Amino acid sequence: MNELSCDIGIGGMTCASCVARVERAIAKVPGVAGVSVNLATESARVTWAPGLSDDAEQTQSARLRRAVREAGYEPLSAEHLEHVPAGAWAGFLPVAIGLLLSAPLVLPMVGDALGQHWMLPALWQFLLATPVQFVLGARFYKAGWHALLAGSGNMDLLVALGTSAGWALSVWLWLMAPAGAMVHLYFEGSAVVITLVLLGKWLEARAKRQTTDAIRALHALRPARARVITRDGEMDVPIEELLVGDRLVVLPGERFAADGVVLEGQTQVDESMLTGEPLPVHKAVDARVTGGSINGDGRVVVRVCAIGTATVLAHIIRLVEDAQATKAPIQRLVDQVSAVFVPVVLVLALATFLAWWFTGHSLEVSLIHCVAVLVIACPCALGLATPAAIMAGTGVAATYGILIKDAQALEVAHQVDTVAFDKTGTLTVGQPRLLSLLAAQPTDVSQDLLALCASLQSGSDHPLAHAVVQAAKAQDVAWVAPEGVTAVPGFGSEGLVAGRPLLLGSLRWLAALGVPQGSWLAQAQALQAQGMTVSVLAERAAHGVTPLAILGFGDEPKPGVQAALATLRARGLRLVMISGDNTGAAQAMALRLGLYPEEVHAEVMPSDKAALVARLQQGEGGVPRVVAFVGDGINDAPALAAADVGMAMANVHADGQRGGTDVAMQAAGITLMRGDVALVAGALDISARTVAKIRQNLFWAFAYNAAGIPLAAMGYLSPVVAGAAMALSSVSVMTNALLLKRWKP
């Protein structure tokens, strides 16, 4: 049984410690096999162990929500990020109030710099600071209290403790001061820290909304309604009511509501949302169209083939969401640090207070330095460093047709030093043509032989079979339906045509069947020397198998593939081409592609591709290699899964049909949504840049705390400066991650 998974939104998380606490709470729910909480998306991906009872499956959402609420956070719908507050200033009101109330408290500091004395009376300071402390700052007390009840700590607890200490110290100094005396109070420190933290969180929320632009843009591609042809004419219905088989009318400029096949008309379709390719694609009758793409200049009638979660757009959205929900391996270090971070900070703050007090300083000075340590140590940036970069990287990659399935593929891809390509359909167009048909027996007529070949191949989906049928159509050769056709994996197919037992397959097959060599073999080898893929039509008889015809097939390199391979080689990568063709044909194509002879592995059976990838990973001289495998077919799935990074190429044929790529896409960590080899370099590049951003973010997140805590403990930072630095750390991490949005392949 496959594992079940679900997503749940979580409100109120503020730092890496919150993430750890939510994960612990959810992990305790019976039946949970795994949980990954993402601070940047404010959501959790929960995996349920197989074997749950029907009752457990029905109540899993309620159990998760209860666990989240008992941990002190607000359970939200998984789609909460789709509903973003309108306007760039949404949510700024609390920050604005805090700024207005805090400004008069900061004014005396400005006055001191100008030689003026603008100190407010203590009562006015109290009246301005208290609403900031207990009304605007109520969220910190609430979340901090829940953290204490759970036996852990978080950013909110540090802010609440630090600012409360500053506020309480100010009240105590005010009440203990002699009548009429002017004492220095610290109301401004507490109020400004809370205001700065709120400002930082607001800026952080704005940045988060930008990192999730990719997901929201994909959701927005789905039209709300579709025009369905019914017995009573055309009718507008919500897309939730569409059924497979419905006929839809799509007018120029409208989006296709679901995946389908064109029944009437022809048009140009903008599929840039799917492939990243800006040029429109011509669609005629029998061509496939994808939900969310834009109809061009023609009215078309489409039969619905897939709805809901079965559509290509839903699959793309799921892949992007999966990538943003999973954790990169580097995040484990952050999780380990965050688990002990807040308790360590509390100990350091207490040690700072005691050290200053025991060295003869006043309670006032000791407490202020303790507050500064509490405030600057908040681990907000630590929790955002990795997910923010992953969200930005996977989001921008998706806009260019590079879908990254999980964070592990993203992190490993930049380490790749060897790229192995399946030849047919990946490096070549994948639509071979029949270039030559030679009679093995001098008395046979080529037209009759072509009719036999087309008859035997008429029911096959193999590219070479299509080439035979297309050649027969082009020459107006008629064929008959075969009987009892069976495919022999890796060799060819056989069956009865007009009562004759025929087989059509590779030279290896005929050699395995013990067919004696003759002049036909010289003809076949001559075609191979010209770089053609050779198949042989033969007939079974009582005395053995007799060759009837030699067929030579040729393919063409994809446009731009030579330049793409040269780019990869310039990056220092080792290139490998894997082909099931004979050595001559594979080497001839390699020469056209600009590959070296030693980079070619020919006559590789589909079942042996994974084993070859494993050998490549072992490397030479005991030095292992990190291998990426690029393929596009069903038979590439084992190799895609075996490689360190699998890249599935979603080729679209001239008739609009996608090849057998669904299985390949499931096995691969990265999907290239158009058959452009240049996207391989793009995928490796965005991986390298994203990992670089993760490392930069983690460096700055640790650096803020590593430098800030000692400076605060030694008295070089006031609580106000500490609060500003803490807010700046989160904003800088988010801003650095957003720089990835400028990336282009």
Instruction: Look at residues 522, 512, 516 and name the one whose alpha carbon lies nearest to residue 543.
Output: 516
DSSP-H helix ranges across 513-582: 519-529, 561-570
**C-alpha separations of 382 from 155, 392, 664, 669, 736 in Å:** 11, 17, 36, 26, 13
Q: Are 301 and 229 in contact (CB under 8 A)?
A: yes
Rounded distance, CA 2 to CA 17, Å? Answer: 31
Inter-helix orientation angle 187-211/93-113, to 10° = 130
Cα 583 to the center of its chain, rounded Å: 37
CB atoms within 10 A of CB 724: 20
Per annotation, catalytic residue among 322, 422, 632, 636: 422
Residues 6+ apart with CB under 8 A from 666: 637
Active-site annotation holds for 422: yes
Specify the DSSP element, H or E, that contains 395. helix 380-399
CB atoms within 10 A of CB 519: 11
Residues 6+ apart with CB under 8 A from 625: 417, 418, 574, 616, 617, 618, 619
Helices and strands, counts by H and E, the chain: 25, 26
Rounded distance, CA 723 to CA 193, Å? Answer: 5
CB atoms within 10 A of CB 60: 20
Q: Are 522 and 393 in contact (CB under 8 A)?
A: no
Q: Are 183 and 87 in contact (CB under 8 A)?
A: no
Q: Are 374 and 153 in contact (CB under 8 A)?
A: no
- In this structure, what are the phi and psi dihedrals at residue 403, rounded to the nearest 5 degrees? -100, 115
> Long-range contacts for 171-175 (Cβ within 8 Å, ≥24 apart)?
171/126, 173/364, 174/122, 174/126
* Catalytic residue annotation: 422
